[in-house]
Amino acid sequence: LELEFEQLQQNLPGWVRASQPCSAHGRVAAYIPELSKAPGEALGIHLIDAQGRTLTAGDSSLSFTMQSISKVFTLILALIDNGEKKVFSKVGMEPTGDNFNSMLKLELVRPGIPFNPLINAGAIAVSSIIGGDSPDEKSSRVLQFFRKLAHNDSLDYDYEVYRSESDTANLNRSMGYLLKDNGVLEGDVDDVLDVYFKHCSINATCADLSRMALVLAFNGTDPITGENLIPRRYVQIAKTFMTTCGMYNASGEFAIQVGLPAKSGVSGGILSMVPGRYGIGVIGPALNAKGNSIAGVQLLETMSQQMDWSLF
């Protein structure tokens, strides 16, 4: 492990430099207008191990909204609040093969439950069962939970991005109403969507993502503080979804090329981990056609192949 850390330390800057140019072939997300302001050529990474040793390279200080990465942790919070039985009455366990914002299959399975909790429809359904008496209380419970996992009390919303998404979210709103009509979504549709937009707009850095990933890499216990933050079973569920659905409809390819649990977001962030070893946060705002960071995926492929990290 010592040797591995040294090898990483030596090679990381070079791997980032080699991966960065492919960002020119990607595009920053623009359907949420505020996201289009991100620097498309940026690429950064932060890695942390169980002793709290960190490695960073590239534009690792950039902050960005978590977007779909947040879905992993709202799923976990919903599991803590409701248990498995309830959660899986709202969402399925299967990848879709469709885009993250697709409504295509919402009418197909059991009366209209989303295929999984990491697509938009599934995450909106999950948001509806997060504990709390009001949308504000639900949102603040989510934020507190994220702060605890990231070990960072200053984690907060990017209100610009939040408003930008809320103002333009016709597709997500229509999903919310369809889910309500299907009897899946609990409570008021606009209230639920507000909780969803808020958790997508939580601002973070690669360091935050890596610390949250580290907790998953160690089955729910923060190895640095020794604190148990998530029951092991729920981490297992989350990591399985990350492996099968975490990179949208490119999850199969990512499993073959990288072979690590990961979750991406449209702001270009990727949270990944080497189970039992490292938490990893990556940012590269330029996306490929499937909506994943183009340079970020390239970097993780290089690292995993060079370090022989694939779980398979």
E strand or H helix at 47, and its extent?
strand 44-49
In whole angstroms, the minimum distance from the beta carbon of 159 to ligand GLN comes to 14
Binding site for ligand GLN (CB under 6 A): 67-68, 100-101, 120, 165, 172, 200, 265-266, 291
The Cα-based distances of 94 to 91, 148, 199, 202, 287 in angstroms read 9, 29, 23, 26, 24
Q: Between 19 and 249, name the residue whose CB sits nearer to ligand GLN.
A: 249
**Active-site entry in 19, 70, 71, 192:** 71
In the residue annotation, 86 being an active-site residue is answered as: no
In the residue annotation, 68 being an active-site residue is answered as: yes
Q: Of 131, 130, 88, 95, which Cα lies nearest the Cα of 113?
A: 88
Rounded CA separation 301/49 (Å): 19
Is residue 126 part of an annotated ligand binding site? no
Contact call for residues 126 and 185 (beta carbons, < 8 A)? no
Is residue 107 part of an annotated ligand binding site? no
Rounded CA separation 36/27 (Å): 9
**Active-site entry in 196, 201, 272, 293:** 196
Is residue 34 part of an annotated ligand binding site? no
Is residue 101 part of an annotated ligand binding site? no
Q: Between 284 and 291, name the residue whose CB sits nearer to ligand GLN.
A: 291
In the residue annotation, 201 being an active-site residue is answered as: no
Q: Between 200 and 214, name the residue whose CB sits nearer to ligand GLN.
A: 200
- Where residue 55 falls (left for φ over 0; alpha for ψ -120 to 50; beta otherwise) is beta
In the residue annotation, 63 being an active-site residue is answered as: no
Encode 272-301: b = buried (16+ Cβ within 10 Å), e = exposed. Answer: bbbbebbbbbbbbbbbbebbbbbbbbbbbb
In whole angstroms, the minimum distance from the beta carbon of 161 to ligand GLN comes to 9
In whole angstroms, the minimum distance from the beta carbon of 122 to ligand GLN comes to 11
Is residue 234 part of an annotated ligand binding site? no
Q: And the tokens for 169?
A: 């979210």
In whole angstroms, the minimum distance from the beta carbon of 72 to ligand GLN comes to 11
The span from the first CA to the last CA of the chain, in angstroms, equals 19
| Centroid of chain to Cα 289 | 18
In the residue annotation, 162 being an active-site residue is answered as: no
Owner of token pair 């940026």: 42
Q: Between 44 and 246, name the residue whose CB sits nearer to ligand GLN.
A: 246
Is residue 196 part of an annotated ligand binding site? yes
Q: Between 42 and 55, name the residue whose CB sits nearer to ligand GLN.
A: 42
| Catalytic residue set | 68, 71, 196, 248, 266
Known binding-site positions for substrate: 68, 120, 165, 172, 196, 248, 266
Known binding-site positions: 68, 120, 165, 172, 196, 248, 266
